[in-house]
Amino acid sequence: MVNIHNIATVEQCPSIGREKHTVVADMDGTLLRGRSSFPYFALLAFEAGGVFRLLFLLLAAPLAGILYYFVSESAGIQVLIFASCAGMRVGDIESVARAVLPKFYSGDLHPESWRVFSSCGKRCVLTANPRIMVEAFLKDILGADMVLGTELSIYKGRATGFVRSPGVLVGKKKEQALRKAFGEEAQPDIGLGDRHTDLPFMAACKESYIVPPKPEVRAVTIDKLPKPIIFHDGRLVEKPTPITALLIILWIPIGFVLACLRIAAGSLLPMPVVYYAFWALGVRVTVKGTPPPPVKKSGAGQPSSSGVLFVCSHRTLLDPIFLSTALGRPIPAVTYSVSRLSEIISPIKTVRLSRDRATDASMIKKLLQEGDLAICPEGTTCREPFLLRFSALFAELTDQLVPVAMVNRMSMFHGTTARGWKGMDPFYFFMNPSPAYEVTFLNKLPEELTRGSGKSSHEVANYIQRVIAATLSYECTSFTRKDKYRALAGNDGTVPEKKPKLPADKVMGC
């Protein structure tokens, strides 16, 4: 066996003129900087199985480590697969692999390995990880042509926790899988690996390069990826290492009680004191800009003019509540979809849109006659620094428009979901140790830029989108609610579809 220390490092591999070459790479420790696959199994366990599945995986992790170092790499990985996948629906595993894992995988991409991998015309990945976990990321984000990984054993649509023949893909099994895929005599041009068990498949390639363990290497930045990750799902903000996973498990009971207290404070206290109650409970609210004064009422109790329509960027369903907190008065909001539980605990009036244009327009006009109103024209939330397309309906109904740039910070849990129960969204947001919201009131839209001065509703909507994006240093896109749900949940938000497909090239300059 060739000594791993005698192989050239990936930094020595030239990447110019490789357009017609084939590269075969390992995943953990090679394409990814991290050598441990535990964080990704932990993500799968929590997102598809919940906190008790994560606890089971965490308890099994020491056994996996012992087997890995003292028995075999294959045995250690088999324990992780069993603990995270046994009994789980295959559809749930595929959903997490498509909607959750790519965000975390892409944040750990090794720069030198990616330099070589991306320069080759044909790309293959050999990995001990279950193929079902990694294929969506490798093919959709990295442009891999072939993914050879461990195959899960499935019974009646559920993973058994065991693997199919030839077993976990390590050592000689990687070489065998490579020769089966490329032919006994075929030799890929480049082989990339990071450990002794990768040497057999690397020896089958014309050139071999080792990726030395360098934790200090900075990951590939988002702008260097073939396509930006605009949509992703899942509750966890950070990649769960064993210590982080333990902290999450211990924090959840405490966080849930704290979330209930915070929600009760927001729902039961008068709106002028909610701001201070939130601060006392660890929720930080920062207000920037000068909001317009409330609409004055006439003697008959009716507003003297149409209320102001606050046009907000959409980060979570709590945007209108934090808008009201910043203003110190409740502002009703129109929503596209919100759970019944969220409506019950909401401290402000929420009105559902029917998605019938005429009906919604009539309802919004009526609400504006009663006073100020809040709307999030993106129609759905976006976690990344992008703004989705603004529906132009709001611009047709009033010229009293105030753009509001909303941005939030969560350290442990995301307060949005496309695949889970939306009723838990506010609880997950408030379960963060110290969640924060920043509300920036921009200048009221000048009269010359409104429909009253001859601008079309689409021009008005696009202008407000650009203004908010510039304030937040975000990018404008033409993605819509349907695009998001097709990418993450396999439906358009209402009707399930079998083959989700993310439209390409929809990011545009602001």
Q: How many CA atoms lie within 13 A of 287 on its CB side?
A: 12
Question: What pLDDT, on a 0 to 100 scale, did the predictor assign at position 476?
Answer: 95
Q: With CA atoms as reference, report the closest residue to 57 among 153, 139, 183, 161.
A: 161
Side chain identity, residue 14: P
Please name which of 354, 358, 357, 349 lies closest in space to residue 336, comparing C-alpha atoms: 354
pLDDT the model gives residue 6? 77
- Strand-pair partners of 207: 190
CATH number (3.40.1130, 1.10.10, 3.40.50, 2.40.320) of 269-294+304-488 reads 3.40.1130
pTM to 2 decimal places: 0.91
Q: Where are the alpha helices (DSSP H) in 269-353?
A: 271-280, 319-327, 340-345
Question: What tokens appear for 402 in the block?
Answer: 């105030």
CA distances from 237 to 33, 134, 244, 481 (A): 19, 19, 11, 22
CA dist., res. 85 & res. 467, Å (int): 46
pLDDT tens-digit profile, the chain (510 residues): 566 777 899 999 999 999 999 999 999 999 999 999 999 999 999 999 999 999 999 999 999 999 999 999 999 999 999 999 999 999 999 999 999 999 999 999 999 999 999 999 999 999 999 999 999 999 999 999 999 999 999 999 999 999 999 999 999 999 999 999 998 888 999 999 999 999 999 999 999 999 998 768 899 988 888 888 899 999 999 999 999 999 999 999 999 999 999 999 999 999 999 999 999 999 999 999 998 887 665 555 554 567 899 999 999 999 999 999 999 999 999 987 778 888 888 999 999 888 788 898 999 999 999 999 999 999 999 999 999 999 999 999 999 999 999 999 999 999 999 888 889 999 999 999 999 999 999 999 999 999 888 899 999 999 999 999 999 999 999 999 999 988 887 765 553 444 444 444 455 545
Beta strand 373-375 with 284-288: parallel, antiparallel or unpaired? unpaired
- Residue 351 CA to its chain's centroid (Å): 27
Closest CA to 226 of 144, 146, 148, 147: 144
Q: What is the pLDDT of residue 252?
A: 97
Which residue intervals of 71-130 are DSSP H helices?
73-85, 90-99, 101-106, 111-119
pLDDT at 504: 47
Domains 4-213 and 269-294+304-488 share a fold: no
Q: Answer for the pair 307, 444: CB distance below 8 angstroms, yes or no.
A: no
The residue ranges of every structural domain in the chain are 4-213, 269-294+304-488
Q: Can you give the pLDDT at residue 3?
A: 66
**Distance between CA 291 and CA 310 in Å, rounded?**
10
pLDDT number for residue 287: 96
Is CATH 3.40.50.1000 what the domain over 4-213 is classified as, yes or no? yes
pLDDT given at position 293: 82
Instruction: Write the CB contacts of 6 (distance below 8 Å, at least 6 apart in sequence).
Output: none
Q: What is the 3-state secondary structure (H, E, C) of 364-423?
A: HHHHHHHCCEEECCCCCCCCCCEECCCCCHHHHCCCCEEEEEEEEECCCECCCCCCCCHH
